[in-house]
DNA sequence: TGAATGATCACG
DNA sequence: GTGATCATTCAT
């Protein structure tokens, strides 16, 4: 069942929490979201300034925002905030669901725990890159309903790799998951 | 702990 | 144009 577009119209922080448990599908490969981070127009966000790159975070919601970083990795986000303020949720880790053999080949590893446990890793595993930037989350790569986690099963923490705005607990992950990128 | 590796942005 | 930075990953 498709995740309703309505969900992404909300603020990035609310969306980040609600995305846990949903499933991202591309071709025969898929994974369940176990870790996310919210970005708005705070000082640590690409959307702190409105530029060609961050335009995707300003313009629409319910679309993929995929960017290339460190000269070798992609990171995938879903744009949020239907109120025309900027927002997106970074997908930081997935629990592999389907197409595991194909993903092992793409990632050059046999360790399932290491397949999708990081934003760059999961893009490599799903073969996600810039060609999806700006596309609908109901397109070739899409998101569907999966599990639901109670608040007691979810941990809130500072965003990883972010020095500014450390007081914002905008990282969400499934407490018991062994597939998250990093535990606190 | 540091190298890899190139797009993006600010500045002039 | 040039230089700094980077929502990372992997090997050392």
Instruction: Give A92 CA → B1 C1' in Å.
Output: 23
Q: Which nucleotides of B are covered by protein (CB under 7 A)?
A: 4-10
**Average pLDDT taken over every residue of chain A:** 97
For the entire predicted model, the pTM comes to 0.97
Write the pLDDT tens digit of every residue in A86-97: 999 999 999 999
Residue A183 confidence (pLDDT): 73
Distance of alpha carbon A72 from alpha carbon A38, whole angstroms: 23
Residue A25 confidence (pLDDT): 98
With CA of A57 and C1' of each nucleotide, the nearest comes out as C7
Strands A88-98 and A73-79: antiparallel
Instruction: Give A144 CA → B1 C1' in Å.
Output: 40
Q: Which nucleotides of C are covered by protein (CB under 7 A)?
A: 6-10
Instruction: Give A92 CA → B7 C1' in Å.
Output: 21
Instruction: Please give the distance of CA A62 from its chain centroid, rounded to a whole number.
Output: 12
Write the pLDDT tens digit of every residue in A117-151: 999 999 999 999 999 999 999 999 999 999 999 99
Instruction: Please give the distance of CA A155 from its chain centroid, rounded to a whole number.
Output: 16
């Amino acid at each position: 069942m498709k995740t309703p577009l309505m969900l992404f119209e909300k603020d990035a922080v609310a969306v980040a929490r609600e995305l846990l448990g949903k499933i991202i599908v591309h071709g025969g490969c898929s994974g369940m979201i176990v870790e996310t981070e919210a970005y708005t127009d705070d000082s640590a966000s690409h959307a702190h300034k409105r530029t060609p790159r961050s335009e995707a975070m300003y313009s629409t919601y319910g679309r993929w925002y995929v960017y290339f970083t460190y000269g070798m990795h992609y990171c995938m986000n879903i744009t949020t905030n239907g109120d025309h303020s900027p927002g997106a949720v970074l997908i930081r880790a997935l629990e592999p669901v389907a197409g595991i053999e194909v993903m092992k080949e793409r990632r050059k590893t046999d360790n399932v725990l290491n397949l999708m446990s990081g934003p760059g890793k999961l893009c490599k595993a799903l073969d996600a890159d810039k060609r999806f930037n700006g596309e609908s989350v109901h397109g070739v790569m899409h998101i569907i309903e999966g599990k639901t986690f109670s608040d007691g099963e979810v941990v809130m923490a500072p965003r990883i790799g972010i020095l500014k705005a450390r007081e914002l607990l905008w990282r969400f992950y499934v407490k018991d998951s062994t597939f998250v990128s990093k535990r606190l």
